[in-house]
A and B are shown apart, each in its own frame.
Chain A
Amino acid sequence: MASLKELKGRISSVKSTQKITKAKQMVAAAKLRKAQAAAEAARPYGERLEAVVASLASKVTVSPSSPKLIAGSGADHVHLLVVANSDRGLCGAFNSNIVKAASQKARELIAQGKKVKFFLIGRKGRAVISRTFPDTIVGHYDTTAMKEAGFTEAQAISAELMKRFEAGEYDVAHLFYSTFKSALAQIPTEQQIIPVAIPAGTAASSGAAVEYEPDEESILADLLPRNVSIQIFKAMLENGASEQGASMTAMDNATRNAGDLINRLTIEYNRSRQAAITTELVEIISGAEAL
């Protein structure tokens, strides 16, 4: 049995760990509210843009001459996996879930004889991916400097992706992030961003003839790159909310576990203390009897 001093040391060490996890939990809870509000504020734009793209796309016929973002580059050989992770740990399986989803997809693609490249957003996940798929990371966007997902960052990322697409570095881009469902559930999500997947079966909402200025195709050509930025922005916001949610849940569990451990250790500590007292008494009594 451990000595009293050792037990005391362990109790105080677990207590300070508990303090950290509790603080992190509270921080995450506060940040979650903000991240959720940001994700909700961004929703109207995404919905409207989607509606407009759908109604435009139903009017424009896809042909090889249409914008590359819709028609694709004509090949399906090189796939770019854009993986959005967080910058910080202490958020449970959040990052590893996203990485797992991406790795699975990568393995599938490799098995089909395709070439896979990675573009990473955020700091975490880099180590795992570079170990599992060496020499496939072509780019990285550092988000450590930013406090919350901003549209400017999303635009910068999308510009980078477009540049690589134009340069023919890849044919298809998939985006991996975590959809925020609740503080308890975050779902790793895969989405194809390039070429743009056009929502099918959307009839024009109003029968009235809509006037376009300049014309459908130019508007669409203008809209599509914007759509990519929006999708990335949405992913970053969802990721932000998911990270905080995952962190909150993980830290809640950790705090509770630490509490259990403290209880167990305290009982053990008291038991050994009483055992020591009993032994001392027995020694005194037997000593007195011997006289």
Chain B
Amino acid sequence: MALHFELVTPEKLVRSAAVHQVVVPGTEGDFGVLEGHAPFMSTIRDGMIQIFETATSAPETIPVTGGFAEVNEKGLTVLAEKAG
């Protein structure tokens, strides 16, 4: 099973993919989201999002500025003002 991850900016939908894990820079600390995470919402600070396509692959990083992350039963959605 994989985590459905979406990264959205006002200008476009940057990424929509099924991945293994995503590490998000939350305001109160980084947090990793895996499949089946409990519903959660957090603002994010400027930093890097790390995307792990599989458990073993090297992370892909995308810089993000301002926004927030939401985890619900459908997956993880990161709304950022700027990404990439």
Contacts across chains A and B counted by CB atoms under 8 Å = 77
Chain A 150-178, CB-CB to B under 8 Å as 1, else 0, gives 11001100000000000000000000000
Interface residues contributed by chain A, number (CB under 8 Å): 30
Q: Please name all residues of chain B whose beta carbon is closer than 8 Å to the beta carbon of A229 when the two chains form the complex.
A: 10
CB contact between A42 and one of B11, B40, B66, B82 (< 8 Å): that residue: B11
Contacts of A222 in B (CB 8 A): 43, 68
* Nearest-Cβ distance from residue A117 to partner chain B, whole angstroms: 27
User: Which of A93-101, A121-129, A207-215, A239-247 lines the interface with chain B?
Assistant: A207-215
- Among B9, B10, B40, B82, max chain A CB count under 10 A is at B10
Instruction: Name B residues whose Cβ lies closer than 8 Å to a Cβ of A.
Output: 6, 8-13, 26-28, 38-43, 66-68, 70, 72-73, 77, 79, 81-82
Known: A151-B10, A213-B42, A214-B42; 13 extra A-B contacts, CB below 8 A, are: A42-B11, A45-B13, A48-B79, A151-B11, A208-B38, A210-B40, A211-B38, A211-B39, A213-B26, A213-B28, A213-B40, A214-B27, A230-B10
What are the residues of chain B within 8 A of A38 when measuring CB–CB? 11
Chain A residues with CB below 8 A from B82, complex form: 151
Partner of B39, one of A48, A49, A210: A210
Residues of A within 8 A of B26 (CB): 213
Residues of A186-214 at the interface with B, using a CB-CB cut-off of 8 Å, are 205-206, 208-214
Contact of A218 (CB < 8 Å), options: B43, B67, B72, B81 = B43
Chain A residues packing against B (C-beta within 8 Å): 38, 41-42, 44-46, 48-49, 52, 150-151, 154-155, 205-206, 208-214, 218-219, 222-223, 226, 229-230, 233
Q: Decide: A209 and B79 in contact? CB cutoff 8 A.
A: no
**What are 17 A-B pairs with beta-carbon distances under 8 A?**
A41-B12, A42-B10, A42-B12, A44-B13, A48-B79, A52-B70, A52-B79, A206-B73, A209-B39, A212-B40, A213-B40, A213-B42, A214-B43, A219-B41, A219-B68, A223-B68, A226-B67
Q: How far is the CB of B7 from chain A (nearest CB, A)?
A: 10
Q: Is the CB of A48 within 8 A of B68?
A: no
Chain A residues positioned under 8 Å from B27 (CB to CB): 213-214
Q: Which residues of B contact A209 (CB under 8 A)?
A: 39
Residue pair B41, A45 in contact (C-beta under 8 Å): no
Residues of B within 8 A of A154 (CB): 10
CA distance A83 to B67 in the complex (A): 27
Contact across chains for A211 and B79 when beta carbons are under 8 A apart: no
Beta-carbon contact of B28 and A52 below 8 Å: no
